[in-house]
Structure 1
């Protein structure tokens, strides 16, 4: 049974629309039906993403949809605050405190820990999505994993704070990666679960804003805990736990205990780690573009502290500059994010925004290359914020429209999120390996990042199902 709501005042729609197996259509309702599946909540986690195709002229972002959008933005802020603070600031400082100030030693140690943690994240995301898609509980299929993930991840962060050896820190970091990815994967599936296609650009913009505010704000807040790393881990863990619990409480899902579970094929699941460019070319190109753009960006920003210390030459004064760089990045991000998503909805185009954003990212990396000074880093921070904010404002909307399966939203988004999580966590390690390979030189990071960002920007061109 369906009922009208403040969010969709035009009234009820058929309960079981026919939905194509590949949600890659244009961003309106031409190819999809639309429905509300329960009177308890207009945003159920129905396997068919029932509200995903409301006509653009009839969808209004208000009421429960507005609450969902704002609270998901805050949830992204809380989780990505951890990804901004820990691998960007606190973990490098902790590693440096264990191995010393030698550039080669600390870069190599960070590379090992970051690489192991990155592969843990890569495996955790699609597993979390697959398990979430098949979960049946009175709280729906996403909430149990979001809450459980931030709880276990928080305990692991506290464990990192008391670690005194690289082995202890590395083991705790792996648990942190797995646990928070088990929260982040189901959270990312909220968009195709509950958000109409016609407003996914606006939704993605605010959601992406939360992501960027978290990642950059995490760097700023992380710098404040530079001399109290265990306390920093405790604060970030506590904030994430409170925010995700509130998200679940404020946006309750319906019970799905009576729903049949989709069949699970272990061999097919293993194959999802390889995205076939033949069977799902749009998904493949979307994954590739995201992977490369994130890698080009986080190769520098994820290694920012050591760059400031050893490339710019600030040494112990480097941490003090991090908040200013973060503020400049936030300013650029706010400008481009608030413009990019709504503009994408108005134009009905996603790819052009992604391409322009990638070019801006590449340009930003030129400044510290030709100006290895504080000024060069300040300009880089603002311009990269413009580029990455514009990209993030439409990326989620574009990705949600190239998912291969209507029954495996969380699993497919989990695979896509590898392309986001892997560069963020692996980039410091990859940058460290490059620095070590070039005898302690930082200069190669920037031209390599420029090439990667440009290739990533144009990787979305072959996508045919999204304009």
Structure 2
């Protein structure tokens, strides 16, 4: 592959993720960067709107008294499906040979099947039906998200991955927060909300692959499939690949801390803060407050990490900020406390997401199976968004209150910072 500094104007197949040295972001590379934002937003709108708002309301309508336990059950089953789907999706896309490339067919198919599954959730009226539909949503959209995450190491030079990661991370948080806002606005018509989310994602994903075509993968060599080797991908070997292990662990811990609280935000506002039925109207306010910090931190920290050639310090700072944010509503269980938490956590999580994605792409074990490796890494991102509410539900049910979630989440966030420190291949 060429290492020319004009990679941004090359045919997509000559834009190599392993390219070293300064590379200007222009031409096809700039277009890819621009499309990263709306594409990530479209997917994370779902993860923002469904688990914490629309799904939570559906489950609450079935049985108000058992809402926390039922949400924990449905979230746990969905999380297990997501954990399996991510690496499978990555492996399948690595081995796909088509004239549209390795990733595009699965991204579009996942968005289509996931959208239909969302519509099915809207028609469900029992816990079993909702659970089955949610599992299908998890599997299908992970077949979109996994291959999408592999595009960065596939086609983005290392020297500008911090900038790409910043836009991807901003898209993640804009989608997550925007999903909370959109979900709260559609709370009175949950089936319509699912249809709107399905349509947005399918349209945006399709436009992404049309305007950012990959080169044909037909004729590319393909390693023989080994079931044993594939099953080993679910285990991050700390001896063989210590940096990959620590990067995975750091992301898993911090995401768990963050989503343990945000996944139960609606129930917290109702019962812990004491807003009752009016709680849903405050979700957009908290989302907008968080959004300000996310945008500022994402746009600044990603490019700064590229400029200084450092990743870990930004991740550590982000983890400490998130822990500090979680302390506020624990000592001040008021709406003001939640507003302060939203502002500080937005800055912390925006900084983390912007830089951590770039860090992860630099510690992948394989130089060829990006999709499979990132599928495993994305377990650390996707799993907490669905599993953390399940864990949080167990804590709430066992200890009888939402306040206990905050110190537990703080510990997870700080441990996430500690886990990043042993990484040696990235500064």
Task: Please point out which of 341, 357, 361 is paired with 2:322.
Answer: 361
**Is the 8 Å Cα contact of residues 5 and 21 (structure 2) preserved in structure 1?**
no
- 1:82 equivalent in structure 2: 46
Counterparts of 1:55-454 in structure 2, within 5 Å, are 55-56=21-22, 59-100=23-64, 102=65, 105-439=66-400, 441-454=401-414
Shift of 1:310: 0.5
CA distance in 1, matches of 2:278, 2:249: 37
**Is the 8 Å Cα contact of residues 262 and 407 (structure 1) preserved in structure 2?**
no
Q: Which sections of structure 1, spanning at least 5 residues, go unmatched?
A: 10-35, 44-49
CA distance in 1, matches of 2:5, 2:311: 29
CA distance in 2, matches of 1:2, 1:452: 43
Task: Please point out which of 406, 418, 422 is paired with 1:458.
Answer: 418
Q: Alpha carbons of 1:8 and 1:235: their partners in 2 closer, same or farther (altered >3 Å)?
A: closer
Q: What secondary structure, in the 3-state scheme, does the structure 1 residue paired with 2:403 have?
A: coil
Shift of 1:54: 3.1
What do residues 239-293 of structure 1 show as CA deviations (whole Å, max 9, x unaligned)? 0000000000000011111112122211011011110110000000000000000
**Is the 8 Å Cα contact of residues 150 and 240 (structure 1) preserved in structure 2?**
yes
**Is the 8 Å Cα contact of residues 81 and 214 (structure 1) preserved in structure 2?**
yes
Shift of 1:41: 4.8
**Is the 8 Å Cα contact of residues 149 and 182 (structure 1) preserved in structure 2?**
yes
**Is the 8 Å Cα contact of residues 302 and 355 (structure 2) preserved in structure 1?**
yes
Shift of 1:4: 7.5
CA distance in 2, matches of 1:8, 1:145: 25
CA distance in 1, matches of 2:124, 2:71: 15
1:53 aligns with 2:14: no
**Is the 8 Å Cα contact of residues 318 and 351 (structure 2) preserved in structure 1?**
yes
CA distance in 2, matches of 1:391, 1:153: 28
CA distance in 2, matches of 1:4, 1:369: 53
Shift of 1:52: 2.5
Superposed CA RMSD in Å reads 1.4
**Is the 8 Å Cα contact of residues 354 and 390 (structure 1) preserved in structure 2?**
yes
Shift of 1:62: 1.5
CA distance in 2, matches of 1:426, 1:335: 28
| TM norm structure 2 | 0.98
**Is the 8 Å Cα contact of residues 303 and 427 (structure 1) preserved in structure 2?**
no
Higher helix fraction: Structure 1 or Structure 2? 2
Q: For the pair shown, which has the larger CA radius of gyration, 1 or 2?
A: 1
Moved more, 261-270 or 418-427: 261-270
Aligned residues: 427
Shift of 1:42: 3.9
CA distance in 1, matches of 2:7, 2:366: 26
Q: Which sections of structure 2, spanning at least 5 residues, go unmatched?
A: none
Q: Alpha carbons of 1:451 and 1:54: their partners in 2 closer, same or farther (altered >3 Å)?
A: same
What do residues 5-59 of structure 1 show as CA deviations (whole Å, max 9, x unaligned)? 96447xxxxxxxxxxxxxxxxxxxxxxxxxx6xx46544xxxxxx3422312xx1
